[in-house]
């Protein structure tokens, strides 16, 4: 007879970093059920996960196989309708191995969860090329919508998953498919100003004139001028000679670092930097800084230093928004090291961010190609190039006396604050 008490103990054991298979067998002999069939309290965890769901999510191939051999149901569903296959660690190399193992033992890869979301959606969302290709090889349909009628191609837009877009398009994804709001992927990319995706979608035949349920075209959702120009077809083909000279100077000044990178990363980095819309970047940031400078000088005349904190989370390598804090003074404790005491903080504005995203275009896809050492070098090169661009903006607005500002990428979400002296 199944015992919720022993089921609970079984769940706790498989949650361990190194579960003891002998303890698992003993618990099964004492009354635990390998699939914890009952959804009553204590039978499964709060999400209705079975021991197999948990073990798959932990990425333990050995335990997963042993649980299957002990009778674990590879197609059992939790309260969200997820089978164990949905719980693979999507961002780790074990993900594909676990999926293949479950498939080998009879997992139905065509299952959808309660939101009618498929495994193909999650592979696209997580930018997992190998898993995406495996699922397509098994016959999963790229033109299957969830409850919002979003296909996997839509989910590439949610997190700008560039790598998966071409695979899905080559597999037959309908570029002009509309979701429940009447939006195509071009609408979604335009609203987020994902210019690389927009270019890919346009080349694949996306309809620029299609309207959503609110009668809006993709161009109506775009915020940045460059995005609107891209959608209207008015992007100039003339190269920015000054921008190119800046890139060449960076390559020359940082030759040792640049040439230490693999050829593919060098080319991707140069291509990414050359796509920056320097003119609009300078124009938009200058307008913001002029407005802010006037506000700071009027409202906080005692401020000597503005500290900009980058937005974002630890999972986000780079974020293009910076938020200002004003201090009366700070302490220098070493080369490139500063201390800001809260007693000298006079204001902080965490709502009105300054948008620098144009200077970060394409960096995420480049970082995905890097090992740890290359990652650090690419960060350094981006840091230096951003400082060049911002120097052109800020020296026109703030006094160029002494050291006006520094730019540092470091720990946390890879961006430490940069400083701007206003006096």
Q: Which residues pair with 345 in a beta bridge?
A: 327
Residue 315 has pLDDT above 50, yes or no: no
Q: What is the mean pLDDT of the chain?
A: 81
Residue 114 has pLDDT above 50, yes or no: yes
- Tokens standing for 410? 């470091």
Residues 159 and 259 in one domain: no
For 235-281, the pLDDT digits (tens) are 554 557 678 778 888 888 899 999 999 988 988 888 888 888 787 78
Residue 95 has pLDDT above 90, yes or no: yes
Residues 162 and 365 sit within 8 Å (Cβ to Cβ)? yes
Residues 410 and 296 in one domain: yes
Residues 245 and 251 sit within 8 Å (Cβ to Cβ)? no
Residues 189 and 287 in one domain: no
Buried b / exposed e along 112-136 (16+ C-beta atoms within 10 A)? bbeeebbbbbbbbbbbbeebbebbb
Rounded to the nearest 5 degrees, what angle is found at the Cα of 127, between the Cα atoms of 197 and 175? 40
Task: Find the domain containing 57 and state its range.
Answer: 1-109
d(CA 83, CA 70) in angstroms, rounded, equals 18
Range picked from 260-274, 313-327, 372-386 for highest mean pLDDT: 260-274
Q: Which residues pair with 162 in a beta bridge?
A: none
- Residue 154: give its domain's CATH number: 1.25.40.20
Residues 349 and 248 in one domain: yes
pLDDT-derived band at 399 (thresholds 50, 70, 90) equals low
For residues 317-338, give the mean pLDDT.
Answer: 72
Give the pairing type, strands 305-310 and 321-327: antiparallel
pLDDT-derived band at 412 (thresholds 50, 70, 90) equals very low
Pure H helices in 33-176: 51-58, 61-69, 94-104, 119-125, 129-137, 152-158, 162-170
Residue 139: its pLDDT value, please?
96
Residue bearing the bigger pLDDT, 13 or 97? 97
Q: Which residues pair with 331 in a beta bridge?
A: 339
pLDDT-derived band at 422 (thresholds 50, 70, 90) equals very low
Residues 296 and 326 sit within 8 Å (Cβ to Cβ)? yes
Residue 111 has pLDDT above 60, yes or no: yes
Q: Which residues pair with 315 in a beta bridge?
A: none
**Closest by alpha carbon to 319, among 309, 332, 306?**
309
SS3 (DSSP) at 242: helix
For 42-53, the pLDDT digits (tens) are 445 557 888 899
Residue 352: its pLDDT value, please?
72
Indicate if the alpha-carbon torsion angle 400, 403, 409, 412 is positive or negative: negative
Angle, helices 61-69/94-104, rounded to nearest 10 degrees: 10
For residues 409-413, give the mean pLDDT.
Answer: 36
Residue 312 has pLDDT above 80, yes or no: no
Residues 166 and 143 in one domain: yes
Residue 38 has pLDDT above 60, yes or no: no
Which of the 8 DSSP states describes residue 87? Answer: G
Residues 66 and 191 in one domain: no
Residues 330 and 360 in one domain: yes
pTM exceeds 0.85 for this model:
no
d(CA 128, CA 313) in angstroms, rounded, equals 21
Residues 79 and 93 in one domain: yes
Residue 390: its pLDDT value, please?
76
- Tokens standing for 394? 């800020």
Residues 249 and 396 in one domain: yes
Residues 58 and 188 in one domain: no
Residues 318 and 360 sit within 8 Å (Cβ to Cβ)? yes
Residue 4 has pLDDT above 80, yes or no: no
pLDDT-derived band at 12 (thresholds 50, 70, 90) equals confident
SS3 (DSSP) at 99: helix
Residue 316 has pLDDT above 60, yes or no: no
Residues 261 and 378 sit within 8 Å (Cβ to Cβ)? yes
Residue 170: exposed, middle, or buried by beta-carbon count in 10 A (0-12, 13-18, 19+)? Answer: exposed
For residues 374-393, give the mean pLDDT.
Answer: 80
Point out the domain boundary residue: 189, 205, 235. 235
For residue 100, the number of C-alpha atoms closer than 13 Å in the C-beta half-sphere is 11
Into how many domains does the chain fold?
3
Residues 291 and 404 sit within 8 Å (Cβ to Cβ)? no
Residues 399 and 291 in one domain: yes
Range picked from 55-69, 98-112, 232-246 for highest mean pLDDT: 98-112
Residues 29 and 70 in one domain: yes
For 173-204, the pLDDT digits (tens) are 999 999 999 999 999 999 998 888 898 898 88
Torsion of CA 356, 359, 365, 371, to 10 degrees: -100
Residue 413 has pLDDT above 50, yes or no: no
Q: Which H helix or E strand runs over 11? A: helix 4-14
Residue 3: its pLDDT value, please?
55
Pure H helices in 59-93: 61-69
Point out the domain boundary residue: 85, 109, 133. 109
Point out the domain boundary residue: 217, 235, 253. 235
């Amino acid at each position: 007879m199944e015992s919720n008490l022993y089921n609970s103990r079984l769940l706790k054991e498989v949650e361990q970093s190194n579960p003891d298979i002998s303890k698992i067998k003993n618990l099964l002999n004492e009354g635990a059920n390998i699939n914890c069939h009952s959804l009553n309290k204590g039978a499964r965890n709060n999400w209705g996960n079975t021991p197999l769901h948990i073990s798959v999510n932990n990425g333990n191939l050995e335990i997963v196989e042993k649980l299957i051999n002990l009778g674990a149901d590879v197609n059992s569903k939790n309260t969200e309708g997820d089978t164990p296959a949905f719980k693979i660690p999507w961002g780790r190399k074990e993900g594909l191995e676990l999926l293949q193992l479950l498939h080998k033992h009879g997992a139905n890869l065509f299952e959808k969860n309660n939101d009618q979301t498929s495994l193909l959606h999650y592979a696209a969302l997580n930018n997992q090329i190998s898993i995406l290709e495996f699922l397509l090889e098994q016959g999963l349909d790229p033109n299957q919508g969830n409850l919002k009628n979003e296909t996997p191609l839509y989910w590439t837009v949610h997190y700008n998953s560039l790598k998966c877009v071409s695979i899905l398009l080559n597999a037959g994804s309908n570029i002009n498919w509309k979701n429940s709001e009447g939006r195509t992927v071009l609408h979604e990319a335009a609203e987020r100003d994902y210019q690389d995706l927009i270019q890919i979608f346009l080349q694949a035949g996306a309809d620029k004139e299609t309207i959503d349920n609110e009668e809006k075209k993709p161009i109506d959702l775009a915020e940045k001028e460059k995005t609107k120009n891209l959608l209207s077809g008015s992007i100039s083909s003339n190269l920015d000679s000054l921008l190119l000279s800046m890139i060449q100077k960076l390559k020359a000044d940082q030759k040792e670092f640049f040439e230490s990178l693999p050829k593919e990363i060098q080319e991707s980095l140069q291509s990414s930097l050359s796509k920056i819309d320097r003119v609009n970047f300078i124009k938009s940031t200058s307008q913001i800084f002029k407005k802010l400078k006037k506000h700071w000088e009027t409202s906080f005349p005692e401020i000597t230093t503005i500290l900009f904190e980058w937005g974002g989370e630890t999972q986000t390598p780079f974020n293009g928004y910076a938020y200002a804090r004003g201090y009366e003074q700070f302490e220098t404790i070493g080369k490139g090291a500063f201390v800001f005491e809260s007693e000298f903080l006079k204001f902080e504005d965490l709502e009105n961010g300054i948008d620098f995203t144009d200077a970060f275009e394409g960096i995420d896809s480049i970082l995905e190609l890097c090992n740890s050492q290359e990652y650090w070098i690419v960060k350094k090169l981006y840091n230096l190039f951003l400082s060049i661009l911002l120097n052109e903006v800020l020296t026109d607005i703030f006094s160029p006396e002494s050291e006006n500002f520094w730019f540092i990428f470091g720990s946390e979400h890879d961006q430490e604050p940069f400083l701007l002296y206003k006096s």
